[in-house]
Amino acid sequence: MSTALIVIDVQESFKMLPDWEHVSQPNIVWQVNRLVESARERGQQVIWILGSRPGAGTVFDPARGYVRLMEGLHPRQDEPILTKTAHNAFTTTNLHQRLTAKGVRKLTICGIRTEQCCETTTRLASDLGFEVDFAIDATATSPIPRPDAPEDLSYAELLDDPDTLSSEDIITRTHYALAGRFASIRTVDELTGV
């Protein structure tokens, strides 16, 4: 079965956010590079995805200059870089057509944010008929405040709030939500054969 590695939103934009210092996987570039090298060695397609919000004025607005792969990631010329404007990697790109044209039926998904773009892409990929390996330790996220938290909450207050959803809880929830339903949950070591 033909497999592709989908690297989602491992981009400089996230390093500009105040919660980056609390990210669950600060060495995500290293983990992603391990998957990329393994995929290349096996002759698998690698596809890079960038998240963009044109005109938003945020770090996800391409005009700000941060919508680019994180330092240390080096796509080859034959590896497409697609830009999406939705949470999942399919809706606003030609990813599905590219995969279908290459006969890809299995995906490995990694990237940022575990519960947002990575999980959403995984769910949609499963619905489209792809078999998915979710590289749980090659995804990253940060704590999420309770829905009714004040917008001016400092990051220290957010971390002290017992109702804040921790990165560990988010990852566990994603694992439970995806496993056996939408994906196989795998580690980088399992996927690379280490």
Blockwise average pLDDT, block size 10, the chain, 194 residues:
95 94 95 98 98 97 98 98 98 98 98 98 98 98 93 88 95 98 98 92
Instruction: Give the number of residues written for the chain.
Output: 194
- Tell me the sheet residues that pair with 144: 165
Q: What whole-number distance in Å separates Cα of residue 97 and Cα of residue 126?
A: 15
Q: What whole-number distance in Å separates Cα of residue 40 and Cα of residue 37?
A: 5
CB within 8 Å of 41: residues ≥ 6 apart: none
Q: Which domains does the chain have, with CATH numbers?
A: 2-192 (3.40.50.850)
Predicted confidence at residue 76, as pLDDT, reads: 98
Predicted confidence at residue 151, as pLDDT, reads: 86
Which residue from 101, 89, 91 is spatially nearest to 11, judged by alpha carbons? 89
Predicted confidence at residue 146, as pLDDT, reads: 93
With tokens 């892409």, the residue in question is 121
Predicted confidence at residue 155, as pLDDT, reads: 83
The two structure tokens encoding residue 30:
């290293």
Q: How many CA atoms lie within 13 A of 54 on its CB side?
A: 3
What are the respective helix, strand and coil percentages of the chain, to the nearest 5? Answer: 35, 25, 40
Predicted confidence at residue 194, as pLDDT, reads: 78
Predicted confidence at residue 37, as pLDDT, reads: 98
Handedness of CA 156, 157, 163, 165 (dihedral sign): negative
